[in-house]
Structure 1
């Protein structure tokens, strides 16, 4: 009989933790338990990827009647019902959480709806007061959005809050320029909100390909998003308070948008002063200014487990901490914060610990998508990154796709390959287009395999498609 209650205790019921628990129990035959203090499915399923993508779908229907009329359909403009959509969205999230619970139960994983903290190398303490022991402990507690350190930041919402709105704000200010900020700018605009976005940097989507960033910024502005770079807020107060009055008057446009000025609390309109000196009122302020690993109060540091500057759990290539029996995967390690990566890390952990097959996590050449409108799909190095390490050739084209051009739309797409001049390997692929996320998944296979530009050239184009340009660009746009 084992000296421990379990072979594995998983803290966190998100995608990575659930996958590791299921595979360890179902395939490796381990005795496994999992504790989750909130809803099963974690950020991705409950307050991230899944509900966000459904909101993207909903928002894209706004332009459908106009495009359809250009193609001969007699379709009137419609109206969007947040209440109807939200009810169906909540039902879908409830269904998915139920699926996660059933998958765990079907694999023989014992679950606890409780918060778990680490007492020692082999013991966890539940918020119910129970203590459980395990040969191995896996921390998979994910991350959370954070508000900036400024007075009255509580007046603004974060991404977790967006799915629980009773009604959509008529005028919303988004603070941030990362993928979450830009995705929700498109979503909220598509659902009928008037969107203003402030970002303190010179261009949105820092870390992505410069040319792609510029095209997406232009597209956002063309759609009607009031995007201001080099700008952030310095002060915010509830409208109707003495502090707000002391800031000065906002434009009289408030009445046009039905802003109420008689409710001085966090649910009322907010007066904001920006670094450019402007003062404006908004129904809601949405902070998309970063995320932080969920390690507060877990008890890890007391055991000698190192935490990074932002609270991330420090692990080696096998996801193992300084305490040999304790591992960590997913966003709590702040390595590559993507759901499929957390799942891969969970699988590598099981292979290493329970199958006796040490498997380092592969974080190289991970395809990803940003669900802006249009989408950005990317894999490998940006032009800027590649140019810093070697001489490269850049193959790029930007054009109005057939569907858009026929409807007299102004939207452009971009296809771009970054190629090593020395060995012709495709170092990066970047696509800005509707459906770019779908395209980059397949392009990612070729880039991961080490395909050369000539391999792309030998591939026959699928015509007429946007993506055929990826295999028909014969001459480099520039050499860097």
Structure 2
């Protein structure tokens, strides 16, 4: 250690970086960590946590209608965004303080600064200080990106949602992945008129086809104006669009010119609306705001990778081996910056495997197989293992699937349906995949994920006694396959 300031320097204070720093420090190692923004990273500050709190908030409006059917004399009130936002940021401040306290308790030296790689064993901080370490762990995460179209700066990205002063009355969401679909459901539930464009044939690409279709239908039924096979052709500030001869409505030529000049002078970093949009489906209209949920990219720009001759992958990610080690032996990387499975619990597991490998002398590859996950749409979607489409390309399978209206919804007069689905190998009888679309699917898939990870067979599921009356009991009561492939 005498040759270095620390045994480990972690760049990035998100969940993965913080866990790795704490666990390494617990072995007696000298550890430092640098974070240029807020401690907690994407998940705690501008991702999973604030988004899930918004999910909870958005569900209360529907609860009032259900409660009336169940005999409660309740009336729907008005959603107060400023009040919720204030409470939200108080909670984020509390969580950030916990992260800082955990690092302090573990004895980790924290630098509130950007850190840039200078060589294989040193980083440079904002104030010019150079810190050396035997090992460097990059855990800088990722960021949302806008599409490469003219005036894309007029649209928001997911990071911006949590800081809005007011909620827009109308919003266009561009994208069809889980972030786009989650925010479409959230904001629709909070009373925003939501339109969603996705250029693909169906939302949630990469997930099970049957589940994707059910979620799309449910979103439409709840009021989301969802258009697949649709993308933006053109977008401009609404006043500039109104000044255009093709869209002008009663403006004089002088007024139109003045409006266009005004909008041309707006700062490039402006995000928000109102924005005029022309779509590939021929629709032209103005929205109070546009949200781009069109992908994320790893945070590797300006990290100093060229100083250590590290090249990034196709999407800007840091290539690593099974032990999270880069081509430079002293430098490792975990989490979204590696673009493997971009989930917070995966980053944490990668951080723990790194500590086992480097500081405990127990080489531990990261296990990315059969990772359960949830999409917090309304209804939720929980999934683990192979989709039906993936499985039938791999081997002969049986599909067990049930769709029904659960008791709680049926009594309340709601048409919402749930889906319980198992993909089973014909040869080994192992459950290759489990997919649930239902309220609380995220909670259910966590437990189902244990069985699937352990290699449970369909007969193991069948031998399990059902818990009645529940939605989840259908997972162990489906006896006959609906199809074989």
- Indicate the TM-score class for this superposition, using the shorter chain for normalisation: over 0.9
Show the counterpart of 2:175. 176
Task: For residue 248 of structure 1, report the CA deviation from its aligned partner.
Answer: 2.2
Report the 3-state secondary structure (helix = DSSP H, G, I; strand = E; otherwise coil) of the residue aligned with 2:24. Answer: helix
Task: Say whether the 8 Å CA contact 2:31–2:109 is kept in structure 1.
Answer: yes
TM-score scaled to structure 1, two decimals?
A: 0.96
Question: How big is the shift at 1:137?
Answer: 0.2
For residue 128 of structure 1, report the CA deviation from its aligned partner.
1.3
| 1:261–1:454 CA distance, 2 compared to 1 (3 A) | farther
Structure 2 match to 1:361: 366
Q: Which residue of 2 aligns with 1:340?
A: 345
Superposed counterparts of 1:67-78, under 5 Å: 67-78=66-77
Residue 273 of structure 1 corresponds to: 278
Does the CA contact (< 8 Å) of 1:244 and 1:271 recur in 2?
A: no
* 1:18 match: secondary structure: helix
In the alignment, the residues of structure 2 paired with residue 116 and residue 380 of structure 1 have an alpha-carbon distance, to the nearest angstrom, of 37
CA change 1:249–1:198 in 2 (3 A) is farther
Contact 1:237 1:243 in 2 (8 A): no
Aligned pair in 2 of structure 1 residues 249, 206: CA closer, same or farther (>3 Å)? farther
SS, match of residue 241 in structure 1: helix
- Residues 273 and 290 of structure 2 are in contact (CA less than 8 Å); yes or no, is this contact kept in structure 1? no
Residue 163, structure 1, aligned to residue 168, structure 2: no
Deviation per CA, 1:308-354: give whole Å up to 9, x if none.
01110000000000000000000000000000000000000000000
- Deviation, 1:263, is 8.1
Spell out, residue by residue over 1:148-188, the C-alpha distance to the aligned partner (whole angstroms, 9 max, x if none): 00110000000000000000000000000000000000000
Residue 2 of structure 1 deviates from its aligned partner by 1.5
**1:155/1:464 Cα in 2 relative to 1: closer, same or farther (>3 Å)?**
same
Separation in 2 of the partners of 1:105 and 1:366? 31
User: What CA distance in whole angstroms lies between the structure 2 residues aligned with 1:137 and 1:413?
Assistant: 46
Instruction: Answer yes or no: is the 8 Å Cα contact 2:241–2:247 preserved in 1.
Output: no
Unaligned residue ranges in structure 1 (runs of 5+): 251-259
CA deviations 1:87-135 (Å, max 9, x no partner) are 0000000000000000000000000000000010001000111000000
2:13 aligned with 1:8: no
Deviations 1:231-290 (A, max 9, x none): 01011001112686245269xxxxxxxxx9998454541000001111010000000000
Q: Indicate the RMSD between aligned Cα atoms, in angstroms.
A: 1.5
Matching residue of 2:18 = 18
Question: Which residue of structure 2 lines up, in the alignment, with residue 295 of structure 1?
Answer: 300
Tell me, in whole angstroms, the C-alpha distance in 2 between the residues paired with 1:218 and 1:77: 25
Aligned ranges 1:365-444 → 2 under 5 Å: 365-444=370-449
1:58 Cα deviation from its structure 2 partner: 0.1
1:51-66 to 2 correspondences below 5 Å: 51-66=50-65
* Post-superposition offset of 1:302: 3.4
- Distance in 2, matches of 1:159 and 1:19, equals 25
Cα distance change on mapping 1:168 and 1:262 into 2, 3 Å: farther
Q: How does 1:104-115 map to 2 (within 5 A)?
A: 104-115=103-114
8 A Cα contact 2:241 2:248, kept in partner:
no
The separation in 2 between residues aligned to 1:394 and 1:110, in whole angstroms, is 53
> Are 1:219 and 2:218 an aligned pair?
yes
Q: What pairs up with 1:206-285 in 2 under 5 angstroms?
A: 206-241=205-240, 245-248=244-247, 264=263, 266=270, 267-285=272-290
- Gap change, CA 1:474 and 1:12, over 3 Å in 2: same
The unaligned stretches of length 5 or more in structure 2 are 250-258
Other structure's SS at 1:398 match: strand
CA contact (8 A) 1:247 1:273 kept: no
Distance 1:4 1:178, change over 3 A: same
Query: What TM-score comes out, normalization by structure 2 length?
Result: 0.95
Say if 2:117 and 2:307, in contact at 8 Å, map to a contact too.
no
Q: For residue 376 of structure 1, report the CA deviation from its aligned partner.
A: 0.2
Distance across 2 between alignment mates of 1:135 and 1:177:
43
Structure-2 separation of matches of 1:244 and 1:54? 40
- Does the 8 A contact of 2:6 with 2:134 survive in 1? yes
Partner of 1:352: 357
